[in-house]
Structure 1
Amino acid sequence: MEDTAKKEKKGMSKLFSSESSPNKKVPKLCGTNYPLSILFIVVNEFCERFSYYGMKAVLTLYFTNYLHWDDNLSTTVYHAFSGLCYFTPIIGAPIADVWLGKFNTIFYLSILYVIGHVVKSVGAIPTIGSTELHVTLSMIGLVAIAFGTGGIKPCVSAFGGDQFEEHHKKERAKFFSIFYLSINAGSLISTLVTPILRGGVQCFGGDCFALAFGVPAALMLVALVVFVSGSGMYKKHPPEGNVLAQVFKCIGFALKNRWCHRSAAHPKREHWLDWANEKYPKKIITEVKMVTRVLFLYIPLPMFWALFDQQGSRWTLQATRMDTMLGSFAAQPDQIQVMNPLMILILIPVFDLGLYPLLRKCKINLTPIPKMAVGMIVAALAFVVACVVEIQINKTIPPVAGSKECYVQVLNYASEDITVTMHGETFTASSLTLQEYQDPEYRNLNFDSEQAHTSINLKSASFENNCDAHFNESSDYSILVHVENEALVCKQFTDNKVKPPKGTASIRFINMLSDTITVSIGEETINLQGMFSPGEIKDLKRGKPDVKADIKGTEYTIDVGLLDFGAGYTVLLMGIDSVDRKVSIRRIEDVDANSFHVAWQIPQYVLLSAGEVMFSVTGLEFSYSQAPSSMKSVLQAGWLLTIAFGNIIVLIVAQTATLEQWAEFILFAALLIAVSIIFSIMGYFYVSINPDDLKEDDDDKAGELEKKPLPDDFYELEEKKTKI
């Protein structure tokens, strides 16, 4: 028994050891030079990206529809979470480099990742407690997810590269291509699937956010299981030390030394980092110089990400106010985000195999910095298009009653048309009892004070009467006219003539029968107490709901038809068909359905994705080409931090700016164009170098490396390498 326990302990120790024979021979794929272990890493990355992007796709609508936060708070928390996801890599990288190694870092932080998803899913179950508990669980889950995904982000791709022999560089390059494909495939599929799980499945009487978050949680668990399953095949390099800490120490020593010798007695040095010569070798100092030169170029870059990440917040909220019918398929507003990974998969080969070679044939050889600057401008144009779309959407929104005005519609339940004179205006109200009735229109009334008492004259072929109404400013009303005791009388209701939130439809029932009626829509019930009593307004998903009416213990069906995106309806319950057990109705569309089609968002997604290809893919190539091999992780961390700071910019604007949405889009576009000009000027004075010229045994050349520019065809050769 004791020997068995020792063996099990030894086996577990070997499984999670960070020094598991990095030079050992690993099984190959079908006689190729590809390690079998990379299959586990690629599948792990696909599942992890599915879980991350799937959860993130529905996150904004979770905040607005489930937690009932306003758009600005939802945008702020969304971008705070996104920013945290890109801050945490600077924690994960040192953990792997100094303490646990890449394998153990991925393993332990993946467990935290799974726990975060599970907590997030539980927080989306309505029956577990109060709103405060849901918010608390959601925030705990999001923080755990941010530390999980950010912590493993700098480790997984590098761990995959570690599996290859040094002389199999071609195979390693193709692995990174497959790795990048798995990222986009996970993003593409999850962005399609999770909105369907949210909106296409009903649970707890509404959208099933618990399922939409639960499936990504399950995929992250699968990612963890798959990753651990390949443990025996992996090369596991031991921790190599914290390069990032070394860079900071070198910079800190140089600044401290310069400050201590600031008097004129000490001669000036060519570069401020040369003040570290007393402690660090010239090669290290030169490498840090190379890194700081690139990091200086990174300063303007967060503004691009401030625009890019809004496709999951502001652009998704924009889609909720549009018609998202694609033929016979009703797309969810959060599904439209799928355009980005789809366009990336299309545009990368278009640019690499078509546009860039064509430009070179025309003697236009764009180096990375001009490409990135053009990418910024293209992304800015995407926000100009988004602004135009926003303005067109605003034209479809019904006007809101302002100061000293209100909107009134007349619902004519008399058996004949009537002429209405109200507040000096005369118009005809068609009878709703006729089979071919017309929807009434809201009339704008202006008055001199905050309130108004108005006498309404009602005249038909058979009757004439006056009734009084009381209106408040900035309000909406319905006046229901019916015949009572051989006279026209009216009843006043308060309306809410606004677009239903987030692409839903609103409906209100009015009981025109003498009996008390209980209307049920799913798990919702509405009690209509007696004749002419209105029910409360309910917001429903687009579709044909199953509506039942209980009248004196007998159940009847109510066919309200299709409730469309963004429409508001009043349904009059007119009569009973005892044979078919149906209630006859008159349906009035108080608020028009969304009419501006979501296809108009496609150009802004195409432009933003094109900007991403030129900016992000090129920026990664540039960073990789300009960093010494020992410092590539430092520049990777710096690149990820630009994304984090970009999200901080958005949440600051969301909380402080008081602009309308279209004006905010223009502001972001203008800022990015200004930043692209600044970046171009900075890039003009940047001299590209080739870090491969820096030899371990050639310390004298290190000081001259910065002055040695790259050959003209360097970036043309770099573009032939696979994007990582």
Structure 2
Amino acid sequence: MATVSEGGAAPIRGGVPAHAKMFLGHPRGLFMLFFVEMWERFSFYGMRAILVLYLTKHFLLGEQPAYATYGAYTSLVYITPIIGGYLADKYLGARKAVFAGAIFITLGHLLLALVEGPQGVQGATLSGFHAGLGLIIIGTGFLKGNISVLVGGLYPRDDLRRDGAFSIFYMGINTGAFVGPLIVGALGETVGWAWGFGAAGIGMALGLVVFTLFQRELHGVGEPPAPARLTARTNLGVSTEWLIYLGATAAVLVSWWLVGNQGVVGTMLIVASVVTIGYILMTSFRDLGREDRHRIFAALFLIALCPLFWALFEQTGSSLNIYTDQRVDRSLFGLAIPASVFQSVNPFFIITLAPIFGALWIKLARRGLEPSAPFKFGIGLILIGAGFFVLTWGAPTEGLTPAIIIILLYACHSMAELCFSPVGLSSMTRLSVGSMTGLMMGTWFLSTAAGNFIAGLIAQATGGEGAGPEQVLEVYGRIGWFAIGVGVVVLVIAPFVAKLMHLGTLGDTDDHVLAGERELAEPAAPGPHPELTRKG
């Protein structure tokens, strides 16, 4: 279907039909996806805020085993989108994938709320808890990457509204991430763990209801690429679609086992990374023209920086969470603030700072000075490292660390995220060809999975039980310096990577055009294509 990009350009392919109803200049489907993602992030970040605390305070696991479980779980919720993206690209379509994912996640959170047993009792109770995590892992694989694909599918590839759309969408992410720890964390730590996990489940259920009732606003975006193939009967007597769902159910058992086996997860990440990157490169050289191939290379460069960034950023839910619980003065007017509530500081800064960053990028773009995506990534790495120096500088040698120091750390990390995550989400949908969008989005989350796995290793390196604050701060200082050094290198080479993006010709061909089909594409009117910024 054709639409017209802002500025009166000739009709170009992609996006919702021209007659689709708009709200604030955007298709109404964007705001439906906003609410779905908001409730999904409410459940995810709310549960994540109490996960390590639950493992150490309820099951009485040691800090290092708890970090290992946390690292394996958070890695798996980002590695499964590579499979979910592939299944959506080839069979289900993004819409069915998101719907299935929401069901799995809802069931997982509700199971977590139901399996709480007596304090210190592990055995079957802990096994049931891992099963709940397995459901969430598989559900996230279907939902996480594909809902971003749906956002991108609402717009043509070179539509100038895409940046604003992803900014609105990212606000939904951070609204859920802000409210989730406040409600889930407060209920879990003060009322009862089951209350916290139950609230997370209700949040995802609300997202599922919103998607079910209003998915018509997608106007066909995200439909199965080959409906006949999806409904075809397999040798097992069920359709291809139901075979996928049955396979996903079996994969829950695999995820349940992997949550307790961090080493196996690490091996899986290495194998999955090699196979996925190899497949992308092979496809790029075999099927894509020169410019599209260069764009894939630029996207892979951005992806390669993800593990370092998220390894440092994701200390939030593990070692920084425990540090806040044990070594931060959390008293306010005589009341102790639950440690999990501090998980809302980062999304609070995202929500408040995103409009400032968005206005800054727009102002710079109008002057032709907006930084490229690689340059923004370099800034993000420097800021993430600087956040740890705030803590190492402000933590006293004796006594508790003032809460303001942790808040300032999260302020630096939030500014880093504004330079990194939304830019990356936008770049994956913009730089990849239509037939590989789900795969590239999945690969983005695969690299995020690697970062989460490394985050678990860093958390374990802080020492666990018996380690003094000196050892924790020493680890933070080292990783801070390393991130800053890498960030400086990225700033230097960013102009060369930006040239590979070929932004000036991004709208000249259809999203799905491959090398052998390029002469059949309808050219779009040329024009400037400012760098995507996702944040707000």
TM-score by length of 2: 0.74
Taking the aligned partners of 1:103 and 1:78, their CA distance within structure 2 comes to 29
Deviation at 1:173, TM superposition (A): 6.0
Q: Conserved in 2, the CA contact under 8 Å of 1:300 and 1:678?
A: no
Taking the aligned partners of 1:723 and 1:25, their CA distance within structure 2 comes to 26
Aligned residue runs from structure 1 range 348-367, under 5 A: 348-354=354-360, 357=363, 366-367=371-372
Cross-structure match for 2:150: 159
Taking a change above 3 Å as real, the CA distance of residues 239 and 367 of structure 1, as seen in their structure-2 partners, is: same
Cross-structure match for 2:193: 209
Cross-structure match for 1:240: 225
Deviation at 1:131, TM superposition (A): 1.4
Deviation at 1:107, TM superposition (A): 2.1
The one-letter code sitting in structure 2 at the alignment partner of 1:366 is P
Deviations 1:168-225 (A, max 9, x none): 9577765544322221111111121112112332xxxxxx111000111122122222
Cross-structure match for 1:122: 114
Q: Conserved in 1, the CA contact under 8 Å of 2:358 and 2:535?
A: no
Taking the aligned partners of 1:49 and 1:171, their CA distance within structure 2 comes to 24
Cross-structure match for 1:651: 456
Taking a change above 3 Å as real, the CA distance of residues 601 and 723 of structure 1, as seen in their structure-2 partners, is: closer
Q: Conserved in 1, the CA contact under 8 Å of 2:163 and 2:426?
A: no
Taking the aligned partners of 1:165 and 1:308, their CA distance within structure 2 comes to 31
Cross-structure match for 2:138: 147
Taking the aligned partners of 2:335 and 2:211, their CA distance within structure 1 comes to 37
Q: Conserved in 2, the CA contact under 8 Å of 1:247 and 1:288?
A: no
Q: Conserved in 2, the CA contact under 8 Å of 1:297 and 1:683?
A: no
Q: Pick the aligned partner of 2:379 from 354, 370, 374.
A: 374
The one-letter code sitting in structure 2 at the alignment partner of 1:213 is F
Between 72-81 and 301-310, the greater mean CA deviation after superposition: 72-81
Taking the aligned partners of 2:43 and 2:422, their CA distance within structure 1 comes to 23
Taking a change above 3 Å as real, the CA distance of residues 601 and 103 of structure 1, as seen in their structure-2 partners, is: same
Q: Conserved in 2, the CA contact under 8 Å of 1:628 and 1:692?
A: no
Taking a change above 3 Å as real, the CA distance of residues 675 and 107 of structure 1, as seen in their structure-2 partners, is: same
Q: Pick the aligned partner of 2:346 from 336, 340, 344.
A: 340
Taking the aligned partners of 1:126 and 1:718, their CA distance within structure 2 comes to 53
Cross-structure match for 2:70: 78
| Count of residue correspondences | 457
Taking a change above 3 Å as real, the CA distance of residues 234 and 66 of structure 1, as seen in their structure-2 partners, is: same
Deviation at 1:84, TM superposition (A): 0.9
Taking the aligned partners of 1:217 and 1:26, their CA distance within structure 2 comes to 37
Cross-structure match for 2:37: 45
Partner SS state of residue 45, structure 1: helix
Partner SS state of residue 506, structure 2: helix
Deviations 1:369-397 (A, max 9, x none): 2332122111101112222345x2x512x
Q: Pick the aligned partner of 2:53 from 61, 77, 85.
A: 61
Q: Conserved in 1, the CA contact under 8 Å of 2:85 and 2:142?
A: yes
Identical-residue share of aligned pairs (%): 26
Q: Pick the aligned partner of 1:325 from 331, 335, 339.
A: 331
Cross-structure match for 2:312: 307
Taking the aligned partners of 1:647 and 1:246, their CA distance within structure 2 comes to 18
Cross-structure match for 1:185: 175
Q: Pick the aligned partner of 1:101 from 93, 96, 107.
A: 93
Partner SS state of residue 319, structure 1: helix
Taking a change above 3 Å as real, the CA distance of residues 700 and 43 of structure 1, as seen in their structure-2 partners, is: closer
Partner SS state of residue 126, structure 1: coil
Q: Conserved in 2, the CA contact under 8 Å of 1:76 and 1:650?
A: no
The one-letter code sitting in structure 1 at the alignment partner of 2:41 is R
Larger helix proportion of the pair: 2
Deviations 1:335-362 (A, max 9, x none): 111110011112222223258847997x
Deviations 1:127-150 (A, max 9, x none): 8x9411221111111121122123
Taking a change above 3 Å as real, the CA distance of residues 210 and 246 of structure 1, as seen in their structure-2 partners, is: closer
Cross-structure match for 1:89: 81
Taking a change above 3 Å as real, the CA distance of residues 178 and 359 of structure 1, as seen in their structure-2 partners, is: closer
1:676 is aligned to 2:487: yes
Cross-structure match for 1:483: none
Taking the aligned partners of 1:342 and 1:133, their CA distance within structure 2 comes to 38
Taking a change above 3 Å as real, the CA distance of residues 224 and 368 of structure 1, as seen in their structure-2 partners, is: closer
Q: Conserved in 1, the CA contact under 8 Å of 2:93 and 2:223?
A: yes
Q: Conserved in 2, the CA contact under 8 Å of 1:26 and 1:35?
A: no
Aligned residue runs from structure 1 range 21-36, under 5 A: 28=21
Between 370-379 and 327-336, the greater mean CA deviation after superposition: 327-336
Taking a change above 3 Å as real, the CA distance of residues 599 and 681 of structure 1, as seen in their structure-2 partners, is: closer
Taking the aligned partners of 1:165 and 1:355, their CA distance within structure 2 comes to 20
Taking the aligned partners of 1:161 and 1:615, their CA distance within structure 2 comes to 18
Q: Pick the aligned partner of 2:213 from 229, 240, 256.
A: 229
Deviation at 1:645, TM superposition (A): 0.9
Deviation at 1:323, TM superposition (A): 1.6
Q: Conserved in 2, the CA contact under 8 Å of 1:694 and 1:701?
A: no
Cross-structure match for 2:264: none
Partner SS state of residue 240, structure 1: coil
Q: Conserved in 1, the CA contact under 8 Å of 2:28 and 2:217?
A: yes
Taking the aligned partners of 1:189 and 1:714, their CA distance within structure 2 comes to 38
Taking a change above 3 Å as real, the CA distance of residues 197 and 292 of structure 1, as seen in their structure-2 partners, is: same
Deviation at 1:332, TM superposition (A): 0.8
Deviation at 1:29, TM superposition (A): 6.5
1:718 is aligned to 2:523: no
Aligned residue runs from structure 1 range 547-558, under 5 A: none
Partner SS state of residue 419, structure 2: helix
Task: Report which structure shows greater RCO (CA 8 Å, sep ≥6).
Answer: 2
Q: Conserved in 2, the CA contact under 8 Å of 1:381 and 1:669?
A: yes
Taking a change above 3 Å as real, the CA distance of residues 389 and 140 of structure 1, as seen in their structure-2 partners, is: farther
Aligned residue runs from structure 1 range 279-678, under 5 A: 280=287, 283=289, 287-320=292-325, 321-327=327-333, 329-354=335-360, 357=363, 366-390=371-395, 392=396, 395-396=398-399, 595-655=400-460, 660-678=471-489
Q: Conserved in 1, the CA contact under 8 Å of 2:186 and 2:340?
A: no
Partner SS state of residue 301, structure 1: helix
Taking the aligned partners of 1:295 and 1:168, their CA distance within structure 2 comes to 20
Deviations 1:110-159 (A, max 9, x none): 222122112211222438x9411221111111121122123211222333
The one-letter code sitting in structure 2 at the alignment partner of 1:152 is L
Cross-structure match for 1:110: 102
Partner SS state of residue 387, structure 1: helix
Q: Conserved in 2, the CA contact under 8 Å of 1:286 and 1:702?
A: no
Taking a change above 3 Å as real, the CA distance of residues 247 and 235 of structure 1, as seen in their structure-2 partners, is: farther
Deviation at 1:45, TM superposition (A): 2.0
Q: Conserved in 1, the CA contact under 8 Å of 2:167 and 2:535?
A: yes
Deviation at 1:309, TM superposition (A): 0.8
Cross-structure match for 2:188: 198
Cross-structure match for 2:243: none
Taking a change above 3 Å as real, the CA distance of residues 225 and 306 of structure 1, as seen in their structure-2 partners, is: same
Gapped regions of structure 2 (runs ≥ 5): 1-14, 230-272, 520-525
Partner SS state of residue 185, structure 2: helix
Larger Rg: 1
Gapped regions of structure 1 (runs ≥ 5): 1-21, 202-207, 255-272, 397-594, 704-710
Larger strand proportion of the pair: 1
Deviations 1:407-463 (A, max 9, x none): xxxxxxxxxxxxxxxxxxxxxxxxxxxxxxxxxxxxxxxxxxxxxxxxxxxxxxxxx
The one-letter code sitting in structure 1 at the alignment partner of 2:457 is I
The one-letter code sitting in structure 2 at the alignment partner of 1:380 is G
Q: Pick the aligned partner of 2:509 from 695, 702, 706.
A: 695
Taking the aligned partners of 1:683 and 1:167, their CA distance within structure 2 comes to 23
Deviation at 1:692, TM superposition (A): 1.7
